[in-house]
Structure 1
Amino acid sequence: MLTELILAGGAAYAGVKSYAKQSKKKRLAKFLGTPPFSLSEEIKATALQAPTRDEIDKTLNRELAIASFSLGLSAMGAWLYPPLIWCSFLGLFLVGRHVYSSAYTSLAKDHRANGDTVISIVITMFLLQGYYVLSAIPIFYLALNRKLVSKVKDESRHNFVDVFKQMPRSVWVSIDGVEVETAFDTLQQGDIVVVGTGATIPVDGTITAGVATIDQQILTGEAQPVEKGVGDPVSAATLVLSGRLSIRVDRAGEETTAAHIGSILNQTVDYKTKIQLWAEAIAERTVAPTLLCGGLVLPVLGSQAAASLLFAVPRHRTTVIASIGILNLFKLASRKGLLIKDGRTLDLLNEVDTVVFDKTGTLTETQPHISRIHTCNGYPEYDLLRYAAAAETNQSHPIAHAIRQEATERRVDVPAVDEAVYLLGYGLNVTVEDQCVQVGSARYLEMENLDIPLPLLEAQKVSDARGHSLVYVAINGNVQGALELAPTIRPEAQAIIKRLRQMGIQSTYIISGDHKAPTQALAEALGIDAYFAEVLPDQKADLIDALQREGKSVCYIGDGINDGIALKKAKVSVSLRGASSVAMDTAQVVLMDGSLRHLGDLFDLARSYQTNMKTSLMLIWIPTLLSIGGALFFQLGFFLSVTLQNLGLLAGVAHSTWPLMQAHHRSNRFSKSDRGRKRGRHGVSFLTKNALRGTNQERRSRRRSGHSA
């Protein structure tokens, strides 16, 4: 009876907490006035006329509360007031109907028994023999199991790729020379769309007028902006950094390249949703042997031994343990800046032996850096950088940021601009201290009829071979030098590659749309085994397929729209916060700090989860085997069997929660230590100086790494 009361009290507490959580969510949703899911989920749920996630949560919370309350009523009825037992039957029926429905479906349609078949037999035997409290326990497990598994399983609710959230609701269309604002979804082939600085190009088309610098990274993965003019093609979802374009619409809406990639992702999403949690699979294998043993034991040892044997099937208990373990690990991962969307990823990570990196935006940062300053005729580097930084003062593209950052680090005194004339798309012309300063590309100098000195032409060839680019600077009509821009290698990249090798990763690769020379140089600088250069967007997925056909288990790390299909093909997919929406929606894991620093922690967590779950499940299976042996050889009754198995469940829950408790303890200890260090005034000053010194050293190291690459 004591055990029954303990179980009833725990169940009642769980029910109250569940109901309170449900009420809190309801109040919060009412206060905010918006549903707690993204626009893409809302669109798809409406289209399929499926219940929303919020409705499912409400149903599961309500069933858990009912099951908990019914278990409490049956326990109080057995101990205090018998009529309460009859009051519990309605709740048991409302929640328990799922077990009987599943059992009937499995037998009638699939012609096989499942775990719910065993549970339904156990509940029926308990009810017929008057063990009402024991009949309520499996139903409580069922409600708890459904709630936990609902949190863990990914039923493809996020498989709608929200490509169009980057698109404007309306665009400007040129009609007979007059710009008219038009709804985005009414665009047709042949329309002329006008796009200005800072706007996203909404269509695939051809430029009919204007010039512009365009950031195509979201589609191609390459951070280097490109210059485009009349006759050049442009793609939807790319960004105009500077310039103004008139674009003839070739493809709009679902026909664009970006939308086509999203369509392919939706077609390839289903195969991963068919994988069941391995805890369920293990328990399901015991169903047939248990039913057979129960049927043999019933005429020999009686109904109590048979019921005890059937109740020993650990289906719901193993699933509860696995679900709790995954949810606890999700909390640990969130503390390290890891967003793991699906618990099954943890199992797949332990199979990975090959890591493939996309180059730009993953191993390198989106903003380049000045690796070298080329000057002619003895012109001072300081003055060249000074005038270039002044010219780029009001610009917002990555090249301008790189020039201004170099000027800041060299402590250059940047003068104010007196007058500025921008040739949108190619370069700019400003007046600084009565000096005419022109900054731009080789194409810009050609348009301005400025001759590039021979030393700079040679530097351009060397720069092109390295995968770098030159920004030319002319003073008073004479080209005096150029700033060489190089990709910036992430400061943590080399350490992460080394750590992956120490963890047993056998092979590492780079995939890049860039030229061979810079890709090879980056691979050699980071110690990466092999590389694929000049890869077109649609070839990335083919390369991942080829590696996996060779028997490799691939983890792919990418951040662009063009990486979406490759991310879907890989066994494990990882993206970074700040990447394209397609990459973040598709990837199974998102590194929330936008860097690779915690990539090694991801693999460590997966391994620790596997070890923890093996021990936790062992704590479930040992009492299960003892219950089976006790029922067969020592006529162990219902009460002792249930007590033994619940002790195993409690031990398994405690062990699966232990890593989270340890992390919480360490966090509290470190926070106390930090508070102690901050008490000293001199200590704060010393730490601040060291932090600043470390930041400057890191910047210098980053520049050297980029230069060597």
Structure 2
Amino acid sequence: MRNKMILMTILVLLAEILRQQAFWYDALMIAVAVIGGVPIIIGAWKALRYRIISIELLVSTAVIGAVILGEFNEAGIVTWLFCLGEVLQNLILSRTQSAIRKLTEMVPDKALLLKDIDDDEPEEVSLSEIRQDDLLLVRAGDRIPADGTVVKGFGKANQANLTGEEEAVFKDCGKEVFAGTILEDGMLVISVSRVGSGTVFGRIIELVEDAQDSKPRVQKMIDRFAKYYTPAVFILALAVGIVLKNAELGITILVLGCPGALVIGIPVSLAAGIGRMAQENILIKGASTIESLSKIDALAFDKTGTLTVGRLQVEEMVWKRDDRSLLKAIESRSSHPLAGAIVTALEDVDSGGHDVSGMVTVPGKGIEAVVDGKKVRAGNEKFVGKPDFSMKSTGKSRVYLSVDGKVTGGLAIGSCLRDDAVNAVERLRRNGIRKIVLLSGDNQEAVDRIAEDVGISEGYGELMPDQKVEKINELRQEGFKVGFVGDGINDGPALALAHVGIAIGSGTDFALDVADAVLMTSELTKLDNARVFAGRIEANMKENIVIAVLTVVILLLGLVFGYIHMGSGMLVHEASILLVILNGMRLLGRKLI
């Protein structure tokens, strides 16, 4: 396309030099019209086969009409300007994909494949050759090529580009690693679980691309308008040419009527805005999320792992009977944040000899399994049963253990607020969030303590997933546009029901599947950044609509009063397209707040 544009430009310049020689001037302009016009005509024909009257059809008809009328200069200039506009559009729009390119460059295209776990001669292969369960060697300084589980070795992986964690995370046997992250030191052998687009990184890229391609309600409305507007322009031009017997005026109307700026204005704003948010580790899953996010005025927070840090610790244990190995046997198979704290506290307890089967996670309650033929439950009091002992700790999360229906022990697990939780809540309230509530499955005492510390006046504890949904419904019925922020499996229904479901954390499958938006880092202040920037994206889209409509008005007025002709009309038309693109591109250089 660029080479063709260069050739056309040279021919236009030669034509201007030879303007006084009519034959050569006309011949060069015809050549420009043919070189640039044939692809436009082909594009128009392809669209017509699907019964679409496209902008290319309007331009093709105008160019062919100008040639028939002997207006070779108009035909050449219109074609040249249209092609120039397309080249500049493609050049500028490619910048909106910078966020995607940066993400894709983080994943290597080669990997070191091992024949077996003890192989000391790895083979370098293309990433496309890697399959699930393959063994890969990762050396210090390498980017990890695929998602997988460590089966040999140890080291520290920098996951900042995925999770926002500043410190490298220690990895050894059994730990999960992610494509695109960097092994800072050590050496690992990993068993591949997911590769390519199936990895967490691959799915993030796919989400951003899908979001950039999605359409908000206003774009769908404009698409419907253009569907009828473009044929209307074609019919009007035909009528003017026949009734007024002025073919040149009819052709000029075809050129002026092209709705290019109106059609491209919103997509470029979305692509630039969503790409900019992706650079800040804020993933938006669709254009409709931008519209909803900018309008939310109520937020409901989950507690554990959302307002509080994921690093929990057991602060008290009470045992009527030493069943710690049973507890560790089932908690080591759970992904809940509390389970990690329990397993850490019981690291000196041997649980390897137990036979565990039939394990089930009950959202909002706990887990149960059959261990050595005994029915074992771990969870809250409602799920496990009322203990006949007391615990000293107050304001803590409590997990009880029962064996065959008898409560044999309990643990108090403490958590602390995220460093930016108080500031984040203050900013949200200051910037227009009218109501903030805390919804948690934890005990009411612990919820009240966290709510008071963070400055939230309403905190509801001991909620099952369906009860969280009821609270979200109540807010909706009160007329609020509700956002819900959570990170656990039990938050799924509430995330789905809220106007905007926002997952915070490390980009788990759950977060990517259920939420409308994902904060890949754990910075709560980015909630307000995302909401404010979504408003800026919406404002930018409206600005582009105004530019497009004003352009049409100016062109029509210029035509009526005799100031606008075919060539100058196409110039103004292409300039308006570039203007809305550049306006949308401003979002790429803006701070989120």
Q: Report if the CA contact (8 A) 1:237-1:258 is conserved.
A: no
CA distance in 1, matches of 2:41, 2:305: 52
Residue correspondence of structure 1 range 347-496 to structure 2 within 5 A: 349-352=290-293, 353-354=295-296, 442-443=345-346, 461-462=393-394, 464-465=396-397, 487-490=418-421, 492-496=423-427
Aligned to 2:259: 315
| Alignment of 1:118 onto 2:71 | no
Measured at CA, do residues 148 and 500 of structure 1 come closer, stay the same or move farther in structure 2, by a change above 3 Å? farther
Aligned to 2:24: 83
CA distance in 2, matches of 1:157, 1:566: 20
Aligned to 1:599: 530
Q: Report if the CA contact (8 A) 1:212-1:241 is conserved.
A: yes
Aligned to 1:535: 488
Instruction: Using the TM superposition, give the Cα deviation of residue 622 of structure 1 relative to its aligned residue in structure 2, in angstroms.
Output: 0.8
| Alignment of 1:254 onto 2:194 | yes
Instruction: Using the TM superposition, give the Cα deviation of residue 644 of structure 1 relative to its aligned residue in structure 2, in angstroms.
Output: 6.2
Measured at CA, do residues 616 and 265 of structure 1 come closer, stay the same or move farther in structure 2, by a change above 3 Å? closer
Cα deviation per residue 1:532-566 (whole Å; 9 max; x = unaligned)?
Answer: 76723xx766654443xxxx3x2636452316x64
Instruction: Using the TM superposition, give the Cα deviation of residue 315 of structure 1 relative to its aligned residue in structure 2, in angstroms.
Output: 2.6
Please, which moves more after superposition, 153-162 or 312-321?
Answer: 153-162
| Alignment of 1:165 onto 2:107 | yes
Instruction: Using the TM superposition, give the Cα deviation of residue 139 of structure 1 relative to its aligned residue in structure 2, in angstroms.
Output: 2.0
Number of corresponding residues: 475
Please, which moves more after superposition, 109-118 or 489-498?
Answer: 489-498
Measured at CA, do residues 187 and 350 of structure 1 come closer, stay the same or move farther in structure 2, by a change above 3 Å? closer
Instruction: Using the TM superposition, give the Cα deviation of residue 116 of structure 1 relative to its aligned residue in structure 2, in angstroms.
Output: 1.4
Aligned to 1:560: 506
Measured at CA, do residues 92 and 559 of structure 1 come closer, stay the same or move farther in structure 2, by a change above 3 Å? farther
Aligned to 2:233: 290
Q: Report if the CA contact (8 A) 1:163-1:262 is conserved.
A: no
Q: Give the number of the structure whose residues are more often helix, by fraction.
A: 1
| Alignment of 1:65 onto 2:9 | no
Name the aligned partner's letter for residue 547 of structure 2.
Answer: S
CA distance in 1, matches of 2:284, 2:302: 22
Instruction: Using the TM superposition, give the Cα deviation of residue 264 of structure 1 relative to its aligned residue in structure 2, in angstroms.
Output: 10
Aligned to 2:355: none
Measured at CA, do residues 117 and 465 of structure 1 come closer, stay the same or move farther in structure 2, by a change above 3 Å? same
Instruction: Using the TM superposition, give the Cα deviation of residue 465 of structure 1 relative to its aligned residue in structure 2, in angstroms.
Output: 1.9
Instruction: Using the TM superposition, give the Cα deviation of residue 300 of structure 1 relative to its aligned residue in structure 2, in angstroms.
Output: 1.8
**Could you state the TM-score of these two structures normalised by the residue count of structure 2?**
0.55
Measured at CA, do residues 79 and 252 of structure 1 come closer, stay the same or move farther in structure 2, by a change above 3 Å? same
Residue correspondence of structure 1 range 639-650 to structure 2 within 5 A: 640=565, 643=568, 646=571
Task: Indicate the structure whose relative CO is greater, using CA pairs within 8 Å and at least 6 residues apart.
Answer: 2
Aligned to 1:102: 43
Name the aligned partner's letter for residue 309 of structure 1.
Answer: I
Aligned to 2:548: 617
CA distance in 1, matches of 2:46, 2:268: 28
Cα deviation per residue 1:588-614 (whole Å; 9 max; x = unaligned)?
Answer: xxx9x9956743541342243134223
Cα deviation per residue 1:370-394 (whole Å; 9 max; x = unaligned)?
Answer: 9xx99xxxxxxxxxxxxxxxxxxxx
Name the aligned partner's letter for residue 95 of structure 1.
Answer: G
Gaps of 5+ in 2: 317-339, 351-389, 400-412, 459-481
CA distance in 2, matches of 1:93, 1:263: 44
Aligned to 1:387: none
Measured at CA, do residues 137 and 242 of structure 1 come closer, stay the same or move farther in structure 2, by a change above 3 Å? closer
Aligned to 1:393: none
Measured at CA, do residues 489 and 167 of structure 1 come closer, stay the same or move farther in structure 2, by a change above 3 Å? farther
Note the aligned Cα RMSD (angstroms): 6.7
Please, which moves more after superposition, 519-528 or 301-310?
Answer: 519-528
CA distance in 1, matches of 2:39, 2:442: 56
**Could you state the TM-score of these two structures normalised by the residue count of structure 1?**
0.48
Instruction: Using the TM superposition, give the Cα deviation of residue 350 of structure 1 relative to its aligned residue in structure 2, in angstroms.
Output: 3.4
Cα deviation per residue 1:195-247 (whole Å; 9 max; x = unaligned)?
Answer: 99x9979776698x9999999999999999999999xx643439999999999
Measured at CA, do residues 77 and 226 of structure 1 come closer, stay the same or move farther in structure 2, by a change above 3 Å? closer
Aligned to 1:128: 68
CA distance in 2, matches of 1:570, 1:311: 44
Instruction: Using the TM superposition, give the Cα deviation of residue 621 of structure 1 relative to its aligned residue in structure 2, in angstroms.
Output: 1.9
Residue correspondence of structure 1 range 113-262 to structure 2 within 5 A: 113-150=53-90, 151-152=92-93, 158=100, 165=107, 169-170=111-112, 180=120, 182=122, 234-237=175-178, 252-254=192-194, 259=199, 262=202
CA distance in 2, matches of 1:70, 1:322: 35
- The alignment-based identity, stated in percent, is 13
Cα deviation per residue 1:457-496 (whole Å; 9 max; x = unaligned)?
Answer: 967x5585299xxxxxxxxxxxxxx998654335641243
Gaps of 5+ in 1: 1-58, 375-424, 427-439, 448-456, 468-481, 580-590, 668-709
Name the aligned partner's letter for residue 86 of structure 1.
Answer: A
Cα deviation per residue 1:16-73 (whole Å; 9 max; x = unaligned)?
Answer: xxxxxxxxxxxxxxxxxxxxxxxxxxxxxxxxxxxxxxxxxxx3x3344344444444
Instruction: Using the TM superposition, give the Cα deviation of residue 287 of structure 1 relative to its aligned residue in structure 2, in angstroms.
Output: 1.6
Instruction: Using the TM superposition, give the Cα deviation of residue 122 of structure 1 relative to its aligned residue in structure 2, in angstroms.
Output: 0.6
Measured at CA, do residues 283 and 523 of structure 1 come closer, stay the same or move farther in structure 2, by a change above 3 Å? farther
Name the aligned partner's letter for residue 27 of structure 2.
Answer: W
Measured at CA, do residues 462 and 647 of structure 1 come closer, stay the same or move farther in structure 2, by a change above 3 Å? same
Cα deviation per residue 1:109-146 (whole Å; 9 max; x = unaligned)?
Answer: 21342221121111111122222232233323422442
| Alignment of 1:93 onto 2:25 | no
Aligned to 1:306: 250
SS in 2 for 1:252: strand
Name the aligned partner's letter for residue 101 of structure 1.
Answer: I
Residue correspondence of structure 1 range 33-52 to structure 2 within 5 A: none
SS in 2 for 1:292: helix
Q: Report if the CA contact (8 A) 1:493-1:526 is conserved.
A: no
Instruction: Using the TM superposition, give the Cα deviation of residue 339 of structure 1 relative to its aligned residue in structure 2, in angstroms.
Output: 8.8
Q: Report if the CA contact (8 A) 1:201-1:235 is conserved.
A: no
CA distance in 1, matches of 2:187, 2:132: 18
CA distance in 1, matches of 2:197, 2:77: 55
SS in 1 for 2:419: strand
Name the aligned partner's letter for residue 64 of structure 2.
Answer: T
Measured at CA, do residues 490 and 135 of structure 1 come closer, stay the same or move farther in structure 2, by a change above 3 Å? farther
Name the aligned partner's letter for residue 35 of structure 2.
Answer: L
Q: Report if the CA contact (8 A) 1:212-1:242 is conserved.
A: yes
Measured at CA, do residues 607 and 625 of structure 1 come closer, stay the same or move farther in structure 2, by a change above 3 Å? same
